[in-house]
Amino acid sequence: MKKKRFRGLFINAVLVLTLISLVPLVFIGIHLTRVNSRILQHEIFQKQQTIASRLTSLVHSYFTHTTQYFAVFIDLHTDFGGHASLNEQDLIYLQQKEPAAVYLGVLDTQGDPVFSVGESVFPDGDKAFLPQILHTCVRQREDYMGNAHFVQGRGWFIRFGFPIYEMLERKQVTGVLLVDLSLTDLGRLLSSAYPLEMEAIITSAMDQVVAYNGAPEGLVEAPSQELTQTAHDLQMQLGSKNTGEAKLSDGRRWLVATADVSVPDWKVYIAQPANLASKLLFESTIHSVGSVLRIILIMGLFILGVSYWVIVPISRPLERLRKAALRLREGDAIIRREDVEIPQNEIGDLAEVFVEMAEVLHFRRQELLYAQKQLSMSNLDLEKRVEERTRELKETTNELVKKERLAAIGQLAAIISHEIRNPLAVISNATRLIKMSVQSPEPRVVKQFSIIETEIKQANSIISEVLGYARSRDLILSLTDVSSYVHDILASYPFGSGIKVKEELASQPARIKIDTEEMKQALRNLIANAVESMQQQGTITVGTKVGRKVVCIYVADTGPGIPEDIRQKMFTPFFTTKARGTGLGLAVVGKALARHCGKMFITSEPGKGSCFQIYLRIYQKKGDTLYGTTDKNLSGGR
C-alpha cells in the first residue's frame, strides 16, 4: 500500500509540475513571437533607412561635387584667367575635364547666347528655362539647378546655370554659364550602391521615376507607367512619414523607408515585401526546433528531479553542494544561495557557511582584481609619461646638436676668414706691386695676373658666403615698398650682355616689414642662380604680385629646368651641382625665408625654365585699405 501511495504521489507531482510549466511557457511563447515580429520589422525599417540614407548621400555628394567644380572654376578664372570673361577655349577645357557636360554655353545678362560648345539636349526648351535661370543667376546671384529631364534615345539630363562675375569682391554679374549634364555617371554610381534584396526607387521633384535598381545602367531607360504608379502610391500613402507600410494598386504590400535629397529635390524609396518579418520569424522558428526540443527535454528532466527530491531529501543537496565546491575550486568565485539547496537541517547550516565563505572569497578576489587594474593603469600612465619625456628629450637634443653644428660652422668660418683672407690680401697686394713694377709685360704674364685676381675674388666670395650663412644676427626690420625694393635690386645687379631682363612689377602699393640687407642677399642669390643656369644667355623675368594678405616675388628663367631629384636637395647646405661653388646660395635663401616666416614654391619644366616664388606677409596697420583682390593661388609669371 505504501509503495502504491508513493508511486501515485510521484506521478501526481510530475503531472502538476508539467502543467504549471507548460501554461506559462505557451503564453510566454506567444508574447515573444509578437515581440520578435515587431523587433524584426523595426530592424528591417532601420536597414532600409540606412540604405536610403546611403543613396541620398551618394546623390547629394555627386551633385554638390559637380556644381562646386564649375563654380570654383569660374571663381578662379575671375582672378587669374588672364581675360575679362570666359571664352570658347575655357569651355573646351571644361568639357574635356567633365565629359558628362554635353553642352556648355555662355549667355549675357539679357539671356542672349554669346558662344557655346557641344549640342544642347534642350534645343526647344531654352525659352522655358531662361527666365528662371536669369532670375536665379543674375538677380539672386545664385547657382541654378533645373529638374531632371529624359531625352529619348539619350537618357536623363539636368541643366545648370552659374553666374559669371567680373571680380569676386565687386560681385558684378557679367554673364551666365549654362551646362547640360548627363546623369549617366550618377547611374553607374547608383548601380554599384543599389541593395540586392530590396527595391530602390528614386523620384525627382516632378514625381518622375529617375532611377530604379532594376534598370541596367542604374537610371530608368524610359518613363514607365508601372513605376510611375508605384511611386505615386508610395507618395500618397506615406506622405511625410519616413517609414511605414504601403499597399500598391496591384494589391502588393510593402514595408517602405524614405529619405529626401536636398540637392536636387529628389526622394529615395527603399521597399521590401510586408510579409518579410513573418517569413523570417517562421524560418528562424523552423531552424530552432532542435533547441525547443532540448528545452522541453531539460524541463522534463527537471520536473522528474524535483519530484524525486521528496524521496532523496539528503543526497541531492549534498550533491549540489559538492558541485558548487568544485566550481569554486576551478575558479568560479560567484556562488549564490540559488546554486545550492538549503534545507532546514544540518545540511542547510553547512550550505549557509559555504555560501558565506564563497561570498568572502569573491569579495577578496574583486579587491585583488581592482588592485591589479589600478596597477596596470599606473604602469600605462608611467610608460606614457616616459615616452613623452623621451620624445621631448630627443627633440631638445636634436635642436641642441643643430645649434652646436651651426656654432661650429661659425667658428670655422671665423678662423677661415682670419687665416685665409689675410694671406689673400698679401697675395693681392704683392700682385699689384709686381704688376706695377713690370714694364710692358708680355700678354701671357698679363693673363696670369688676371687669373690671380679672379681667383682671389672667387676665394673672398666663398669666404663671404660661408660667413653669411654661419653668422646669426638679430633682424633689423624696416618697412619697404615691395615693387620699389625689387626694382632697386635689379637696377644694381650686374647682368651680362647676353641676359635680357623683364620687370613685371605690380602697380598696387604694398609694404613689407623685412631685413632689407638679408632679403636683398637672398634675392640676388636667386637671380645669380637663374643667370648661371642660362649660361649668360636668355631671358630672366622678375616681378611682384600683390594679394589681400600676402605679396609674391618671383624670379623666372628660360634655362634647362631643375630635375626632380636635385629639387629635393637644392636647399641643403653645401650641396651643389656646379664644378665650383660652396652650395650655400640657396641655403642662404632658405634661412632668410625661415627668419622672415615666408614660404617658397618652385615650378620647373625640362627645357623651358624654372620659376622661384617667394611669399611674404603684407604689413598692415588698423585702418589700412586692403591690397589687391585676393591672396589665393598667387602665381608668378609662369
Please give the full DSSP string across 279-321, using - where no structure is assigned. HHHHHHHHHTHHHHHHHHHHHHHHHHHHHHTTT-TTHHHHHHH
Q: Over the stretch 110-119, which tens digit does the pLDDT of each residue have?
A: 888 888 898 8
Q: Considering the entire predicted model, what is its pTM?
A: 0.43
Name the residue among 165, 175, 170, 163 with its Cα closest to residue 110: 175
Rounded to the nearest 10°, the torsion over CA 592, 596, 598, 603 is: -20
pLDDT at 86: 79
Which stretches of 81-169 are assigned E, i.e. beta strand? 101-107, 113-118, 144-145, 149-151, 155-165
- Write down the architecture of domain 475-617 according to CATH: 2-Layer Sandwich (3.30)
Q: Over the stretch 308-361, which tens digit does the pLDDT of each residue have?
A: 665 555 556 666 777 777 777 776 567 766 666 666 666 667 777 777 777 777
Q: Over the stretch 120-175, which tens digit does the pLDDT of each residue have?
A: 887 665 677 788 888 898 888 888 988 888 888 888 899 999 998 876 565 688 88
Alpha carbon distance 505, 499 (integer Å):
19
* For range 263-281, the mean pLDDT: 78
- Name 156's bridge partners: 150
Q: Is pLDDT at 286 greater than 60 in this prediction?
A: yes
Rounded to the nearest 10°, the torsion over CA 248, 253, 257, 259 is: -10
- Taking the domains of the chain in order of start, what are their residue ranges? 1-311, 475-617
Name the residue among 100, 270, 101 with its Cα closest to residue 193: 270
8 Å CB contact between 58 and 193: yes
pLDDT at 427: 77
8 Å CB contact between 131 and 140: no
Please state whether the peptide bond connecting residue 264 to the residue before it is cis, i.e. omega within 30 degrees of 0.
Answer: yes
* For range 401-420, the mean pLDDT: 65
pLDDT at 368: 84
> Which has more confidence, 84 or 355?
355
pLDDT at 314: 52
Name the residue among 200, 264, 203, 252 with its Cα closest to residue 228: 203
pLDDT at 418: 59
Please provide the DSSP assignment of 194-221 as one string: S-SSSEEEEE-TTS-EEEETTSTTSB-S
8 Å CB contact between 82 and 189: no
pLDDT at 165: 80
Alpha carbon distance 498, 231 (integer Å):
77
Q: Is pLDDT at 193 greater than 80 in this prediction?
A: yes
How would you classify the pairing of strands 209-212 and 199-203?
Answer: antiparallel
Query: What confidence tier does 4 reach under pLDDT thresholds 50, 70, 90?
Result: very low
pLDDT at 637: 44
* For range 403-410, the mean pLDDT: 65
pLDDT at 552: 94
pLDDT at 604: 86
* For range 426-431, the mean pLDDT: 74
Determine the angle formed by the axes of helices 276-287 and 2-80, rounding to 10 degrees: 140
Rounded to the nearest 10°, the torsion over CA 305, 306, 307, 312 is: 80
Alpha carbon distance 430, 340 (integer Å):
115
Please give the share of the chain, as a percent, with pLDDT higher than 90. Answer: 7
Q: Is pLDDT at 8 greater than 70 in this prediction?
A: no
Name the residue among 245, 145, 156 with its Cα closest to residue 203: 156
Name the residue among 160, 190, 191, 189 with its Cα closest to residue 177: 160
> Which has more confidence, 439 or 174?
174
pLDDT at 481: 92
Fold equal for 1-311 and 475-617: no
Q: Over the stretch 565-613, which tens digit does the pLDDT of each residue have?
A: 776 666 666 556 564 555 566 777 777 788 888 888 888 888 888 999 9
Homologous superfamily in CATH for domain 1-311: PAS domain (3.30.450.20)
Q: Over the stretch 238-261, which tens digit does the pLDDT of each residue have?
A: 888 888 888 888 888 888 889 888
Overall residue count recorded for the chain in this entry? 638
pLDDT at 578: 61
Q: What does the mean pLDDT of the chain come to?
A: 77
- Name 315's bridge partners: none
pLDDT at 572: 61
Q: Over the stretch 204-247, which tens digit does the pLDDT of each residue have?
A: 877 788 888 888 888 888 777 888 888 888 888 888 888 888 88
Q: Is pLDDT at 486 greater than 50 in this prediction?
A: yes
**Neighbour order of strands in the sheet with 266-273:** 209-212, 199-203, 266-273, 253-261, 243-247
Q: Is pLDDT at 448 greater than 80 in this prediction?
A: no
* For range 290-315, the mean pLDDT: 66
Q: Is pLDDT at 67 greater than 50 in this prediction?
A: yes
pLDDT at 580: 55
**Main-chain dihedrals φ then ψ at residue 549, nearest 5 degrees:** -125, -20
